[in-house]
Structure 1
Amino acid sequence: MPSRRRYLAAVGASALATVAGCSGVTGRPAPSDPPAPETPPLDEDRQIYGSDGNWSSFGCNAGNTRSVHGIHAGEAPVDGVSEDWRVEVSGLQNRAPVVADGRVFLSGPEGLRVLDAADGSVLWHVDEIRHAPVVRGQTVYVADRSDPAVRALAADTGEPRWRVGTEATPVGPSMYPGSPLIVGAGERVHALDPDSGEQVWSRRLFGRVLSHPPVWSGFAVAVATDAGQVSLLSLDDGVGIHRTNLPARPTCPPSADTDAVYVTCLDGTTYALGGDQNGWGGSWTVDTQWTQGGLAIDSGLVFAGSVGDLHAIDSETGEVQWTHAVGEWDQTAPALGRDTLFVGGDRLWALDPTEGGGEAGPPVRFEQSFHGPVGPGPVLDGGTLYVVAETGESSTHLLALS
């Protein structure tokens, strides 16, 4: 939507110009040296956030933490980026991709396009898939709005494996490894056997269920509704554990770490639910403005907001450690890896998230401008950033940057 986006800088079709480490803010500290790139193994049975080593769902993993291996590990471009490939997308593209096992799954107005991560070529395509899928192993789980139904597809070909019809339009799914697939449809949340689609349990909530609920501590799912409720339900049987009423509708799926569930609402506030020793209940609130792209969590920090400023918040106390101006754009969210936070907005930013603070903000590793705003995305997988950006007066692309 070019008319909504502010001109930044023209970029050629074959190359990107990288600007390293210059913030223009007096007193901003220098970034620390990032660790060497590495890809540590992940044990899915013991990974508290349900990570599988890929950016395999909306928020990377079942907790929506937006961090594949943790903030201090993984591979990432920390000195600047070059373009590997680009694929044209609609200016209305409002979903970030999911990336797993050499495939990029991009859902949006044009349905679900599955691309080869090596060169961006189209492998297969399915209409009417608007929400990000969950990819586990060789299966892709999608919410089909046209049926309406939840479907499981083969990751390599898109061939159907099973289909379960829903009375209302389903929204984006979530799944913790070894647990049921969680999908909202209307005012009901359904738990389905990922192998067969058989219903494990179903529960009615107050308000329309929102997409991609995170899993908290590996045993409970935090389901938000457009009525402003967040319900903590047992993954095994859907039994209610706790319910919180918020003053406004959430603007994006919540995120969860081992201590709390975090959610940003239309009132411009980010809420921490469950930070007390009992494991649930109001903990803190911070005025952050809001985002549609999601929150990120790692190393005791919650990264929230994108309309104006990104905030780094102490997850225990709610104290803001730093803020960084990213421009008036709400279609971005942070991606974390190799001691670097990547976020869009008025450009692509790479920040050193745990250094600096105060009015100066975080150190800048590099910044990259495009013709217009950056986002949805970025997401980070295998050392490559995938992000949607406005690349010309009337052009928008999904870019693979490394």
Structure 2
Amino acid sequence: MFQFTFQRRAVFSTKRFLSKQRCLPAAYYRGGTSRAVIFNQADLPPRSEWDDIFRKVIGSPDPYGRQLDGLGGGISSLSKVCVVGAPTHPDADVDYTFVSLGVKNTDVDYSSNCGNMISAIGPFAIDQKLVSAQSPDSATVRIHNTNTGKIINATFPVVDGEAASTGDFAIDGVAGTAACIQLDFINPAGSVTGKLLPTGNVKDEFDGVPVTCIDVANPCVFVQASSFDVRGDMRPDEMTAHTDLLLRLDSIRRQAAVKMGIAQKTEDVPGSIPKICLVSSPDSVSEKDPIDLLVRAISVGQPHKAVPITVALAVSSAARLAGSVVESAANRDKVSDAGVTINHASGNLLVRAQFDNDELTAATVFRTARRLFDGNIYWKS
């Protein structure tokens, strides 16, 4: 007869290490092809405490890369926080601050904007009664993005004083349909650098590769896929598995950032800006849909499964700049005021740039969003 002995291990911490969870009111929204925790700024403590709270709410850093102990999703497009509060701009109804968090590291980055999550900010403001709808059927919320200082107008339907969820508008990368949200980015050029062309050139060269550096909604660097002898329709997993593609792109991105004035040294360049993208002609692949350009975006070191909206806005603007690497790859017969149809890893996206005497005055894109929950969010102290 076997006799088992049980030895109590240190399963329970001593009392001095025990504490209860902390909590704050929050909401969780899908915005475009991203998701984020959204806080009302009035509910948050002083800004000096934000970073630690946001990391723990999202579940970062996570050496396993899954963020299982928080509300992140293990990839950059799902590791986000938004803060919405009273406006500090005379032309805005609300302020919106975007925060990107590292998955495996402790990075908390306030340097960029997120175009996808902007689609959720107007609905959040209406749902939380921060702003009232102008009519029983629709609302326009003027959003001041504090990261860039830019204004974005969000227009969408409402039902019984809340943002409508159901509708017949579909976006690639998101299953089903929902209510359409029109996003008008007002004077989006120079979001970080103050210039449409931060280097002063339509085309530059780094590591022997021609590039176009542009700042529309977010600073972006564009290179042609042919410069790297890769296909323009690569899947994100193919890009990640490539022997040196991401390393070469990041080297170019960092050099471009220094010339754009974003950082003084390559090692100080933020992970979130500038974005870098491969562009290629639709003639280079067997794409059946009517598209004008193929784009594969990389952000925070990861290939995106869908093009970030701020990147799409920069693409539509660069496509109309004579001599840019984007313009030379685009279907010139279609690039006009009607917009540019971009093929990305999850489908297609139409985006429109508006110019007045060669000055970029606005850019428009259409998205969907949905409130997934609101209530109290908990984190370990």
Classify the TM-score, shorter chain: under 0.3
- Structure number with bigger Rg: 2
Q: Which structure has greater helix proportion?
A: 2
Higher fraction of strand: 1
Name the TM-score, length of structure 2 as normaliser. Answer: 0.26
Q: TM-score, with normalisation over the residues of structure 1?
A: 0.25
